Chain A
Amino acid sequence: MIEMKNVSYAYEGICALKDVTLHISKGEAIALLGPNGSGKSTLLKLINGIVSPDAGSYKFNNEDITHKKLQDTKFTKLFHQKIGFVFQNSDTQLFCADVFDEIAFGPRQMGMNESDVDQRVNDCLSLLNIQDFKHRPPYHLSGGEKRKVAIACVLALNPEVLVLDEPMNGLDPRTQRWLVGFLSNLNKAGKTLITSTHNLELVQEISKRSILFDENHCIVADLPTDDLLQDVDLLKRVNLVDEFYHKHEGNEHKHFHMHNF
């Protein structure tokens, strides 16, 4: 479904991704792991066609995604319908007057009649359990509620692939747990999930395969999530786990510790 070969990208000469090769099949649940600034968000932007690779090739459904092709509005619109992107900061994704209009934005553009739009929006509202906010302006919602609305907006387009940039950031533990279950259900329903995260505690539940980036913006491991989490040395090398001293029942000792950044 998604195929990248030797893809590199730089911002104003500063390398963000180096020689990335990966293949993602339909229905997979992938986690992108890596320290801050390792290139995860840039890869997500590339997958969504926000930026085009400086070198290498990117194919989606066997079709080359190039800068030239992304200038073709008809092609780009279909491409964006097939890949939904949930931004790290939900505020940037919400710009309509109320939650209903926000979710209806995509379906209305797709030319659906108002009763179908209504049906789809209500389905999304109940799926994310946000029916009560239907007529509230998005900027009056809490962080977790905004995240739910942002996901609902993307789901309303019924994309084949759902790309999420640090979806657990800023959410309370209960909402995080709810989101993990929700994403897992979406994957079971056949949606391809690509999630970038630092959260090693929840990564097993939202992905079956993990791609690990290091500080040199390269992929250093592409393994089943369970196997990757066993490789503590590798996780330590890329700064995803650290070793520190602390006390348990008065005894001072050290052991590896996973952090939710």
Chain B
Amino acid sequence: MPEWLLKDENYIPQADKDTFVNKSILSLLSILSRFKTQSGYRVETFRVSAVLKVAFTIFLIVLLSLSRSFTFIIIVNVYLLLILSMMRTGEILKILRMSFIVAFFTFIILIPAAFWGNYYSMIMITPKVFATVMAVNILSHSTQWHSITSALKTFFVPDIFILVLDITIKYIMLLGEFSLNMLYSLKLRSVGKNRNKYASISGVAGTMFIKSKEMAEDMYTAMECRGYTGEYRVYTKTKFTYADFIYMMINIVIIFAFFYLGKV
């Protein structure tokens, strides 16, 4: 054992800025936690089929953009807020924050139009944007990514496209965790003044690139070993449940409301 290893280190660190590493860690953590929270709880809480959820969310957004009835927009907003109230507190806050921010910026953008007397756009478009952002967020928070991509098959999206989407989502998670650990490691080993921060960051990026290339090659080999020949078929099992029926009925009522209020 070398002598220095037998003695305690008498070291006083110099102050240094680690903002970039800390911010990168925080942003990666938030992305990963988003994926991680796509867990069993939602499947139990919202048993509605992903196909119906995707279909009616798209339909709702189309109806919202076509509607000229303020009452209809309010009904949709109330309906979405009711669904939102069944979610976790953290998610409610997250979705509301996102919806309010986007609606607020829309409101700001439309102020000049209001100055020129076009109040109608401001009154109609702002709640439409609020409802649209809320609907998309409810869908993404209440449905697993995998279910959403599988549901795309119903809308005649090619299987290979669904496979690529699925793999992309999986690798965002895997490589995200890998890069998070690399940043943790960089942070733990940054015990003093790093005069060459960018070299360390590019080292992390380079290792990530090599790792992702290796993983891609390994995966392709594994797929070939399991009989992949360039054709991929997505299988979906859909079972119509009581929850699906109720969800469908509510949405049909909303569709009727769109046509009825459109006439009035």
Interface residues of A (CB under 8 A from B): 11-12, 48, 50, 73-74, 77-78, 80-82, 84-85, 87, 89, 91-97, 105-106, 108-111, 120, 123, 127, 139, 153-155, 157-160, 185-186, 189-191
Q: Are A189 and B200 in contact (CB under 8 A)?
A: no
Known: A185-B1, A189-B1. A106 touches B191 (CB 8 A): yes
8 contacting pairs across A/B (C-beta < 8 A): A92-B178, A93-B185, A96-B203, A109-B189, A110-B13, A111-B193, A123-B4, A139-B207
State which of B1, B13, B200, B204 has its C-beta within 8 Å of the C-beta of A81: B13
Q: Is the CB of B18 within 8 A of A73?
A: yes
With A109-B192, A110-B192 as contacts: A50 and B9 at CB distance below 8 Å: no
Q: Are B192 and A77 in contact (CB under 8 A)?
A: yes
Other contacts beyond A73-B15, A77-B191, A95-B185: 5, CB < 8 A = A73-B16, A78-B12, A84-B188, A89-B181, A93-B185
A-contacting residues, B198-231, CB 8 Å: 200, 203-204, 206-207, 210-211
Query: For residue A154, which residues in chain B have a CB less than 8 angstroms away from its CB?
Result: 189
User: B237 on the interface (CB 8 Å rule)?
Assistant: no
CA distance A11 to B204 in the complex (A): 25
Q: B9: which A residues are within 8 A, CB to CB?
A: 81-82, 110, 157-160
Cα A186 to Cα B2 in complex, Å, equals 11
- Evaluate contact between B33 and A12: CB separation under 8 angstroms: yes
A157 → B minimal CB distance (Å): 6
Q: With an 8 A cutoff between CB atoms, is B236 at the interface?
A: no
| Given A73-B16, A160-B8, A189-B6: A95 touches B207 (CB 8 Å cut-off) | yes
Known: A158-B5, A190-B6. A11 touches B184 (CB 8 A): no
The answer on a CB contact under 8 Å between A95 and B17 is: no
Find chain B residues with CB under 8 A from A73 CB: 15-18
Contact A189 B5 (CB under 8 A): yes
CA distance A123 to B15 in the complex (A): 28
A173 to chain B, nearest CB (A): 25
Q: Tell me if B97 is interfacial: C-beta within 8 Å of chain A.
A: no
Verify B15–A80 contact, CB threshold 8 A. no
Q: B16–A123 contact, CB under 8 A?
A: no
In the bound complex, CA of A87 to CA of B182 (Å): 10
**What residues of B have a CB within 8 angstroms of the CB of A92 in the complex?**
178, 181-182, 184-185
User: Which residue of chain A lies nearest to B178 when distances are taken between CB atoms in the complex?
Assistant: A92
Contact indicator A74/B13 (Cβ below 8 Å): yes
Knowing A73-B18, A78-B13, A81-B11 are in contact, say whether A95-B186 is a contact too (CB < 8 A).
yes
Question: When A78-B12, A160-B8 are in contact, do A110 and B191 touch as well, CB less than 8 Å?
Answer: yes
A12-B33, A94-B207, A96-B203 known; A106-B12 Cβ under 8 A: no
Within 8 Å by CB of A87, from B185, B190, B206, B207, lies B185
B14 interface residue per 8 A CB criterion:
yes
Bound CA–CA A66/B211 (angstroms): 34
Give the chain B neighbours of A77 by CB distance below 8 A: 13, 16, 190-192
Alpha-carbon distance between A183 and B186 when the two chains are bound, in angstroms = 23
| A91 and B189 form a contact (CB under 8 A) | no
Please give the distance in Å from B26's CB to the nearest CB on chain A: 12
Most chain A CB atoms below 10 A, which of B36, B184, B186:
B184
Cα distance, A158 to B11, chains bound together (Å): 10
Residues of B within 8 A of A139 (CB): 207, 210
B170 at the interface (CB under 8 A from A): no
Please tell me if the beta carbons of A127 and B2 are within 8 angstroms of each other in the complex.
Answer: yes
Distance between Cα atoms of A91 and B181 in the complex (Å): 9
Please give me the residue from chain A that is nearest to B211 by CB atom.
Answer: A91
From B15, B18, B37, B203, A97 is in contact (CB under 8 Å) with: B203
Interface centre among B13, B181, B182 (most CB of A within 10 A): B13
- Is there contact, CB below 8 Å, between A109 and B191? yes
Q: Which residue of B6, B33, B188 contacts A48 across the interface (Cβ within 8 Å)?
A: B188
* Beta-carbon contacts under 8 Å, B160-183 to A: 178, 181-182
Interface centre among A93, A96, A155 (most CB of B within 10 A): A93
